[in-house]
C-alpha cells in the first residue's frame, strides 16, 4: 500500500508534467505537501522510485518521469457519469527542462589554430540547445568569430560530424594536430576557413589537410 504522502506527491508530479511538461522542483514539492524540509521529499521520491512508479532521468537535473499510476488514481481521472471509449495508455510526459552532460574537450581557437585538447570534464547543457546526435563542448579562445556572436570564453556546443555544408561554422582539424572554429567553404580543390572578423584573413588549405570534427549547434556564455 502507498502512504497518503507518497500518493499525494505522485499525483502532484504527474499533474505538473501533464500541465507543462516540466517536473516540479524539490522546493515546490515540499510546499505542495506542506513538509518542513526537502529531506522528506527525497525519502518519498526514493520510495516511489523503488516501487517503480517514477524514475530519475540520468544526467539530467530535476527531471522525473512517471512510469505508472496506482489503480485508484487512474480510475479517479475518468468522468463518473460518462463511459469513455477505451484508448491506449498515454505516454507519460518527460520534463522539458532537461539538463544533459556532454564532454568538455578543452579550448579551441577562433583565431590562429591551436591544438585541440581532449579532456575528462563534463559540461551541463540545457537539452533544448542541442539537436539529435552526439555532442561535445569547447571553450572558445580568440576573437576571430566575434562578428558571428562567438566571443572569447564562450562555450561552443558542437555536434559530432565529419561532413559540412558550405557556409556552416565547423570545428576543422588541420594536419591532424591543430583545431579551429571557422566558416567552412570550398575554393576549387582547396578548403577555405573564413573568420567572422575583418581583422583576420581567410585560411586556405589543401583538402587533404583538413578534417571536419563537428559543426556548431549552440553557444553558452558566462557573465561573471
Judge whether 23 counts as a catalytic residue: no
Rounded to 5 degrees, what are φ and ψ at 110? Answer: -105, 20
| From 25, 182, 198, 215, the catalytic residue | 182
Chain-centroid distance of CA 90 in Å reads: 25
Q: Is domain 4-76 annotated with CATH 1.10.10.10?
A: yes
Q: Considering only CA atoms, which of 153, 6, 147 is closest in space to residue 73?
A: 6
Chain-centroid distance of CA 33 in Å reads: 30
Structure confidence at residue 208 (pLDDT):
93
| From 23, 30, 144, 215, the catalytic residue | 144
* CB-based burial, 108-121: b 16+ in 10 Å, e otherwise: bbbbebbebeebee
Judge whether 5 counts as a catalytic residue: no
Give one DSSP letter per residue of 20-58, joined into a string: HS-PPPHHHHHHHTT-S-THHHHHHHHHHHHTTSEEEPT
- Mean pLDDT per 10-residue run, the chain (224 residues)? 81 83 81 82 81 74 76 51 47 55 81 54 81 87 91 91 93 87 93 93 93 91 76
Q: Where are the domains of the chain?
A: 4-76, 99-220
Angstrom distance (rounded) from CA 219 to CA 137: 9
Q: Kindly report the pTM of this predicted structure.
A: 0.55
CATH superfamily of 99-220: Umud Fragment, subunit A (2.10.109.10)
Structure confidence at residue 92 (pLDDT):
44
Amino acid at each position: 500500500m502507498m502512504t497518503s504522502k507518497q500518493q499525494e506527491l505522485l499525483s502532484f508530479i504527474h499533474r505538473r508534467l501533464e500541465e507543462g511538461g516540466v517536473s516540479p522542483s524539490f522546493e515546490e514539492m515540499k510546499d505542495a505537501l506542506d513538509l518542513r524540509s526537502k529531506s522528506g521529499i527525497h525519502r518519498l521520491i526514493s520510495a516511489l522510485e523503488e516501487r517503480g512508479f517514477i524514475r530519475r532521468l540520468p544526467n539530467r537535473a530535476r527531471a522525473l518521469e512517471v512510469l505508472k499510476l496506482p489503480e485508484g488514481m487512474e480510475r479517479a481521472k475518468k468522468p463518473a457519469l460518462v463511459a469513455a471509449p477505451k484508448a491506449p495508455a498515454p505516454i507519460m510526459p518527460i520534463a522539458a527542462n532537461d539538463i544533459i552532460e556532454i564532454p568538455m574537450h578543452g579550448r579551441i581557437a577562433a583565431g590562429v589554430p591551436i591544438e585541440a585538447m581532449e579532456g575528462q570534464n563534463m559540461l551541463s547543457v540545457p537539452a533544448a540547445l542541442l539537436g539529435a546526435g552526439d555532442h561535445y563542448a569547447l571553450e572558445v579562445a580568440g576573437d576571430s568569430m566575434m562578428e558571428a556572436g562567438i566571443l572569447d570564453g564562450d562555450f561552443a556546443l558542437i555536434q559530432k560530424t565529419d561532413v559540412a555544408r558550405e557556409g556552416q561554422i565547423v570545428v576543422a582539424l588541420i594536419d591532424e594536430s591543430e583545431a579551429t572554429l571557422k566558416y567552412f567553404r570550398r575554393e576549387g580543390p582547396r578548403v577555405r576557413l573564413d573568420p567572422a572578423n575583418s581583422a583576420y584573413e581567410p585560411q586556405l588549405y589543401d583538402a587533404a589537410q583538413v578534417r571536419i570534427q563537428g559543426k556548431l549547434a549552440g553557444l553558452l556564455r558566462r557573465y561573471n
